[in-house]
Amino acid sequence: MIYRETGQFKTSYASDQQLFPILQDRVVVIGFLVFAFAVVPFVASEYLFRAILTPFLILSLAALGLNILVGYCGQLSLGTGGFMAVGAYAAYNLALRLPDLNLIVVFILAGLCATVVGAIFGVPSLRIKGFYLAVTTLAAQFFLDWLFARVGWFTNYSSSGSVAAPPLEIFGYPIQGPVHKYLFVLAIVCVLALLAKNLTRGAIGRSWMATRDMDVAAEVIGIRPLHAKLTAFAVSSFYVGLAGALWAFVYLEAWEPLAFDVNRSFELLFMVIIGGLGSILGSFLGAAFIVILPIALNQLPTKLGIPLSTASISEIELMVFGALIVFFLIAEPRGLARLWAIGKEKLRLWPFPH
């Protein structure tokens, strides 16, 4: 009943092809955006902004980037952490060496650096597939880890290998407080999510999906695998690199290569798998699951007033978190986004299921 589209007639191509063809979806999405932009900044606490929402949004962006590559184009990658590091260190060096550059330009250039690196490491994908490709991207991860830990130039010869981001400022307007940072990240994520949604609906996205579903068939119908695969690597790396720059500049503010190690790559891959492969919404749901759930589990016993030692809370957090991953994947292997779609189907028939 709630999701019934009866009576919503599409009378033009534009209305048929719009982003959210169902009125209810449009209302929900616009309502959500209004809520995120206009209500949250006034009601949320500083902790929520700094420790939950900002990292959640940034990692959503990285998951979105990875989802383009893994979910839409079917190229398994374990080098995401490395590409994030490229973005972070590129932004650091650009900001350091060209101090007059506008921050937006710095972030975009950092994303483009990651794009170039990503496309280069994407070249093997033309010859190898599946697990073999995963291994070559893993090599990219280790190479990039090594590069930023060992080549002093990238860290401005910092003695400890740890570097600090310069103060954030756009057009002379400082981005300092938690609310500013949140809105800044939110705006970037919204623009890029919209872009990703449209990319995946268009010709490029369709060529990615065709390559994912069956690359031989895709070649037969005239899709160039070189073009499809390398654009997927490039676009994905742009998103991931930008997320890396934001993670470093906005969230951590001072970081070492360890912040982008292979665990980060796995974490992002889990987000994409749990959230839903080949789904924009899934990237956000997966990021929420992996970022917010452990923190929530960690605080739950204290909030409920159960006296437990710090060690047992952490152990319980890990156990429950692991169990929930298994549970959700058994319940719906295609991820949380699929669960949401099923829920929508149910709501369409509710309260009279047949």
Minimum CB separation of residue 194 from other proteins in Å reads 24
In the bound state with other proteins, the residue whose beta carbon lies nearer, of 176 and 198, is: 176
Minimum CB separation of residue 247 from other proteins in Å reads 9
Sign of CA dihedral 178, 180, 184, 190: positive
3-state secondary structure of 169: strand
Q: Which of 307, 313, 14, 263 is nearest to 138 (CA)?
A: 263
Q: Which of 263, 286, 270, 283 is nearest to 141 (CA)?
A: 263
Minimum CB separation of residue 133 from other proteins in Å reads 24
Minimum CB separation of residue 245 from other proteins in Å reads 16
Minimum CB separation of residue 136 from other proteins in Å reads 20
Minimum CB separation of residue 70 from other proteins in Å reads 22
In the bound state with other proteins, the residue whose beta carbon lies nearer, of 99 and 222, is: 99
Distance CA 320, CA 269 (A): 20
Residue 205 contacts residue 185 (beta carbons within 8 Å): no
Residue 292 contacts residue 56 (beta carbons within 8 Å): yes
In the bound state with other proteins, the residue whose beta carbon lies nearer, of 101 and 191, is: 101
Beta-carbon-side half-sphere exposure of residue 146 (alpha carbons within 13 Å): 6
Q: 46: which residues sit within 8 A by CB, 6+ positions away?
A: 178
In the bound state with other proteins, the residue whose beta carbon lies nearer, of 19 and 331, is: 331
In the bound state with other proteins, the residue whose beta carbon lies nearer, of 126 and 254, is: 254
260 is written with which tokens?
């982008």
Q: Give contact residues for other proteins (rule: CB under 8 A).
A: 45-48, 50-52, 55, 96, 149, 156, 159-162, 164-167, 176, 251-256, 258-259, 261, 292-293, 295-296, 298-300, 303, 309-311, 313-315, 318, 324, 327-328, 330-332, 336, 339, 342-343
Phi-psi region of 157 (alpha: psi -120 to 50; beta: other; left: phi over 0): left
Minimum CB separation of residue 257 from other proteins in Å reads 8
Minimum CB separation of residue 39 from other proteins in Å reads 16
Distance CA 79, CA 152 (A): 22
**Peptide bond connecting 174 to the previous residue in cis, omega within 30 degrees of 0:** no
In the bound state with other proteins, the residue whose beta carbon lies nearer, of 166 and 225, is: 166
195 is written with which tokens?
């872009």
In the bound state with other proteins, the residue whose beta carbon lies nearer, of 120 and 142, is: 142
Distance CA 200, CA 70 (A): 13
Q: Which residues of 244-280 are buried (b: 16+ CB within 10 A; e: fewer)?
A: bbbbbbbbbeebbbebbbbebbebbbebbbbbbbbbb
Minimum CB separation of residue 210 from other proteins in Å reads 30
In the bound state with other proteins, the residue whose beta carbon lies nearer, of 50 and 229, is: 50
178 is written with which tokens?
């938690």
In the bound state with other proteins, the residue whose beta carbon lies nearer, of 127 and 303, is: 303
Distance CA 198, CA 319 (A): 39
